[in-house]
Amino acid sequence: MTNRTVETQARAVEHPGARVRQTALALGFGILALAAFTATAKAEELIVTHGVSTFGDLKYGPDFEHLDYVNPDAPKGGEISFSWSTGSFNSVHPYSLKGDPAILSSVFFESMLEGTSDEIGSAYGLLAETISYPEDKSYVIFTIRPEARFSDGTPLTADDALFSYEILRDEGLPSFVANIGKTLAGATVIDDHTIRFDFNPDAPLRGRIQSAGGLPVMSRASHEASGLAFEDSRLTPLIGSGPYVLGEVEVGKRIVYERNPDYWAKDLPLMRGRSNFDSIRIEYYGDGIAAFEGFTAGNYTFRQESSSVAWANNYDFPGLEAGHVVKRELPKATITSGQSFVINTRREKFQDVRVREALDLLFNFEWTNKTLFFGLYDQGPSFWQNTELAASGLPEGDELALLEPLRDQLRPEVFNQPAYAQTPSNPDTARDRRKARRALGLLQDAGWAPGDDGLLRNADGDKLEVEFLNSSPLFDRIINPYVENLRSIGVDARLTRVDPAQLSEREKTYDFDIITDHFPMGYEPGSSLRQYFGSESSDSSAFNPAGVSDPAVDALVENVIRAETKPEMITAVHALDRVLRWERFRVPQWYNGNHWVAYYDMFEHPEELPPFGLGFLDFWWLNADKEAALKAAGAL
């Protein structure tokens, strides 16, 4: 079903007026007075639908019974648990920079619209029963389902949606604050179950409705009752309407989310067969080694493996040999996470691209993959690796036309060389001498000359110091050879291992040279690109560790955001990907083409998984008989 078909089948409605609540200040008296008035709006025909799609078809019609990839009769019950070993937590508030929020702490909240794992760019009404908008998409009206309830049983109203929008806009994460106003001009409560969002006239049409519909909705009353500022860290979460509420909390060690048996949307077609576990438990560990040992001991039950060494060598423990644990490779055709060594370009020593290129040259992925990873990984140069959005070859046609006006601001390689990718290194030795000579030449060209002690120094006599900041001992074996390669040409490189709390704090304040981070791009990228690569929030965004701040990149980001057709979007992303890669502020690490999972043999999932998600917390379920057998065998 196409968008046009949905629009044709939609009923036409009229909104001749809107009831608006307004707080007025009694001027001269300093008294707040509540006034209500009726504003007459021009009646116009609206498109009314159950879902929206950026491009192409909506897969599910208005009368669908459940998502195709779920088991609508999946049993409810039991617990699934997994580990986290790359940081700690002291908060359950995911929308503030204060404190370190627990993993999944956004699980409490829902939004007007919900995406699926078998479509790109489509979203269906969750809190919203209907989505209404004019042909020009100048605004959208969400009619909230009358049965929608917060987890405390109170009704979810348009006023709560207005509160959530306004407080996120004014007091949320800095990168969110910087970007939300670019799309949304304001919101108006029409009645208890209806809210209208108006869009800035110059905001891109693509993704407008999804951006408004994706805002989390929180209870105004729970915030006011907390007595806290919105930015304050907290261990009692704001109340949301999601299927899970907070259970047990042991700060820094364990957090449990419990399924709300009175969850308001459990019978909605969009939610049937989902949120099947009674509880989700997350065990925090100081490092990955301890976390793996916890799994073999049965301290948690599901593991998504990220270490090739562990996958190749460690899964020979008694539980696996006895058949209590299942080890599987499940297909993954999704976009890569963009895991990389990220160079902090805010630091003067890294602002010369030749220095960044030299750092890139001395990471020997081929040797690392062969020697340390058993040849199980690939290296992805593109920010959109594994998708049609990745740039290739030389720019031509429409892509070249986008780049041409920026030619004076871009590196010549963007135009005269294929999209940048790392030159393969010698896989048989950790140090590729050919690339080491090339890297040294680049550094000398950039003004770093060897001193009497063999260390590279600039004209002021300062050493070229490069610190790799990391919190995981599992990365030592990967980073140390990289450090040695740099030291071999005179770079004063070192690995500094800190605890997760220190790492988090230094990342927040950009107090690092190189860290490991991710660039999780989307299939239909939009305004979130400003948070990753935009100049405006480059010194405040939690998502721009490299400090990318470049007017040409800003222009290319806006081209992507404003693309109205799929071909236009693909072309714009190709141009952006090409330019970002030639900036060389990241050294791609590796990615895995499959999901590596191991779990105690009591979990089940639909036979055919959707293409865009593993979904083990979403639509898997527990087989109670298998669980009982494992307990009887002493495996749990």
Tokens of 532: 């990753």
Reference 138, options 184, 191, 178; nearest CA is 184
> What is the pLDDT at residue 200?
94
Contact of 606 with 397, CB cutoff 8 Å: no
Instruction: Check pLDDT > 70 for residue 421.
Output: yes
Tokens of 259: 């399924």
Mean local confidence (pLDDT), 324-347:
93
DSSP state of 314: I
> What is the pLDDT at residue 610?
94
Interior angle at CA 18, CA 30 and CA 110, nearest 5: 90
Please report which confidence band the pLDDT of residue 29 belongs to, taking 50, 70 and 90 as the band edges. very low
CA-CA distance, 59 to 66, in Å (whole number)? 12
The per-residue pLDDT for range 215-247, each reduced to its tens digit, is 999 999 999 999 999 999 999 999 999 999 999
| H-type alpha helices, 270-393 | 288-296, 308-309, 318-321, 353-361, 365-372
Contact of 243 with 108, CB cutoff 8 Å: no
> What is the pLDDT at residue 527?
85
Contact of 78 with 97, CB cutoff 8 Å: no
> What is the pLDDT at residue 43?
52
Mean local confidence (pLDDT), 197-208:
90
User: In 3-state terms, what secondary structure has residue 409?
Assistant: helix
The mean-pLDDT minimum among 181-185, 598-602, 626-630 falls in 181-185
> What is the pLDDT at residue 505?
92
DSSP string, 554-611: HHHHHHHHH--SHHHHHHHHHHHHHHHHHH--EEE--B-SEEEEEEETTEE--SS--T
Reference 599, options 118, 78, 102; nearest CA is 78
Reference 359, options 290, 236, 442, 432; nearest CA is 442
Instruction: Check pLDDT > 50 for residue 454.
Output: yes
**Residue 475, phi then psi, degrees to nearest 5:** -85, -10
Instruction: Check pLDDT > 80 for residue 477.
Output: yes
Reference 560, options 189, 17, 186, 54; nearest CA is 54
CA-CA distance, 9 to 140, in Å (whole number)? 18
The per-residue pLDDT for range 481-503, each reduced to its tens digit, is 999 999 999 999 999 999 988 99
The sign one gets for the Cα dihedral 619, 625, 626, 631 is positive
> What is the pLDDT at residue 19?
27
What ranges do the domains of the chain cover? 3-75+109-226, 244-332+593-632, 340-588
> What is the pLDDT at residue 513?
98
Instruction: Check pLDDT > 70 for residue 40.
Output: no
Residues whose CB is less than 8 angstroms from the CB of residue 404 and which lie 6 or more positions away in sequence, other chains included: none
Instruction: Check pLDDT > 60 for residue 15.
Output: no
Instruction: Check pLDDT > 70 for residue 187.
Output: yes
Please report which confidence band the pLDDT of residue 39 belongs to, taking 50, 70 and 90 as the band edges. very low
Instruction: Check pLDDT > 60 for residue 5.
Output: no
> What is the pLDDT at residue 32?
29
What is the homologous superfamily of the domain 244-332+593-632 according to CATH?
Answer: Periplasmic binding protein-like II (3.40.190.10)
Helix (H) or strand (E) holding 332: none
Q: In what order do the strands lie in the sheet with 254-259?
A: 79-84, 279-284, 254-259, 244-250
Q: Which residue has the tokens 């599987």?
A: 328
Q: What does CATH list as the number for 3-75+109-226?
A: 3.40.190.10
Q: Does domain 340-588 have CATH number 1.10.3720.10?
A: no
The mean-pLDDT minimum among 297-306, 307-316, 475-484 falls in 307-316
Mean pLDDT of the chain: 90
User: What residue type is assigned to position 630 of the chain?
Assistant: L
Please report which confidence band the pLDDT of residue 33 belongs to, taking 50, 70 and 90 as the band edges. very low
Please report which confidence band the pLDDT of residue 3 belongs to, taking 50, 70 and 90 as the band edges. very low
Interior angle at CA 399, CA 397 and CA 402, nearest 5: 115
> What is the pLDDT at residue 28?
29
Instruction: Check pLDDT > 60 for residue 17.
Output: no
Instruction: Check pLDDT > 60 for residue 21.
Output: no
Contact of 238 with 93, CB cutoff 8 Å: yes
Instruction: Check pLDDT > 80 for residue 387.
Output: yes
Interior angle at CA 528, CA 6 and CA 210, nearest 5: 20
Phi-psi region of 99 (alpha: psi -120 to 50; beta: other; left: phi over 0): left
From the CA atom positions of the chain, what is the Rg in Å? Answer: 26
User: What residue type is assigned to position 364 of the chain?
Assistant: N
Residues whose CB is less than 8 angstroms from the CB of residue 314 and which lie 6 or more positions away in sequence, other chains included: 292
Instruction: Please indicate whether the domains covering 244-332+593-632 and 340-588 agree at the CATH topology level.
Output: no
Mean local confidence (pLDDT), 546-569:
95
> What is the pLDDT at residue 30?
29
